[in-house]
Amino acid sequence: MTDTLPDIQSVFDWMKSSSHPLLIAGPCSAETEEQVHETVDAIAKTKQVSLVRAGIWKPRTRPNTFEGVGEVGLKWLKDAGIKNNLPVATEVANAQHVEACLKAGIDVLWVGARTTGNPFSVQEIADALRGVDIPVIVKNPIHPDLQLWIGAIERIRDSGISKIAAMHRGFSFYGESVYRNEPRWEIPIALKTMLPELPVFCDPSHISGRPDLIQMVSQRALDLGMVGLMIETHRDPTSAWSDAKQQITPSTLNEIISALEIREEVCIDQEFIDQLQSLRRKIDGLDEEIIELIAKRMGIAKEIGEYKKDNGVTILQLERWTEIVKSRNFWGQSLGLSAEFLNRYLEQIHKESIRTQTKVMNQSNEDTEIPW
């Protein structure tokens, strides 16, 4: 990555015109004045970081754990930023946090995942921001709810804030995963589609939950057009007072960032453009064939529904569905398709087949069909 960093005073304006990702780094929590200064000093030496972060108030899942040093940490963070000519950012969860940050001269605020999920809390923050135009980043809510995320962004925007960005930090889930929080990339992509002018960052630390995944997640985020990364960085992660397992040292941060490939969104080479268009035309043709085949499949599903209705048979045939999932997964994976994709595809096909057969079974209620 290039070491050309944006002007401190125009971080958000710069993001819209630069292909260089904006890097936010710093400890999960401000712990002591010495720890903040030592960490920020080391981060600044990498010459890769545009904005320094540290948690001052930490909303913890359970009580009797470290919940941040409070307002005293704002001065540590701000002083460390001034010393290294870097703007600083921290998380706010209520109006009192906003007021303390504005008084301390914090440059950028972010709304955390737990807060984003509570419209009352977001509105309180938005009300406290009226009359102030400080940059604000809104993290996704803990659960995969796109409308809740957009609603939080709109509340901040409606308060008069003009420099707003989103932060993708992954989503809670039940079960086993290599991630701490499932990335669910389709959700930030949907956000970018609905709000194309909104800068979207990624927080690889909270998605990964472990250092060895951070570079992979970071590369994926940049390849999907995210404008920057927030990576938790500590002078000594093993001794960190919160989220020790997902933080990295400044030297590791430098290695990760230096190894990332920065790809352009647009290429002006005519040969490339012509070849890309040729391949896209092939995709268009295949998509047309696929949609026609799916329509034919649903036509047969309708016939099956009529046959079941005439013979008093239920729509759901679990044995047949299990057979389809097993055989199609085998066929698809043998052709190089992932099990995750195949299962999602089959789920949607099955859902539409059931909807089609339900209309057949209940023709008199077709105009008042209950959504799936």
- Round to whole Å and give the CA distance between 218 and 223: 9
Describe the crossing of helices 186-194 and 146-158 by its angle, rounded to 10 degrees.
Answer: 40
- Delimit the domains of the chain by residue range: 8-259, 270-368
Give the pLDDT of residue 230.
Answer: 98
User: Considering only CA atoms, which of 340, 339, 323, 16 is closest in space to residue 184?
Assistant: 340
Extract the tokens encoding 167.
């932060």
Q: What are phi and psi of 45, to 5 degrees?
A: -70, -20
Give the pLDDT of residue 19.
Answer: 55
Q: Is 233 helix (H, G, I), strand (E, B) or coil?
A: strand
Give the pLDDT of residue 203.
Answer: 98
270-368 CATH choice from 1.10.3720.10, 3.40.190.290, 1.20.59.10, 3.40.50.300: 1.20.59.10
- Round to whole Å and give the CA distance between 294 and 232: 46
Q: Is 230 helix (H, G, I), strand (E, B) or coil?
A: strand
Characterise 134 by phi-psi region: left (phi > 0), alpha (psi -120 to 50), beta (else): beta
Give the pLDDT of residue 58.
Answer: 84
Give the pLDDT of residue 102.
Answer: 97
Residues of the chain with pLDDT under 70: 1-19, 364-372
- Round to whole Å and give the CA distance between 314 and 303: 14
- CATH topology classification for 8-259: TIM Barrel (3.20.20)
Q: Is 268 helix (H, G, I), strand (E, B) or coil?
A: coil
Give the E-state strand segments of the chain in sequence order.
Answer: 22-26, 51-53, 88-92, 108-111, 136-139, 164-168, 200-202, 228-232
Question: Is the Cβ–Cβ distance between 188 and 166 less than 8 Å?
Answer: yes
- Round to whole Å and give the CA distance between 75 and 36: 10
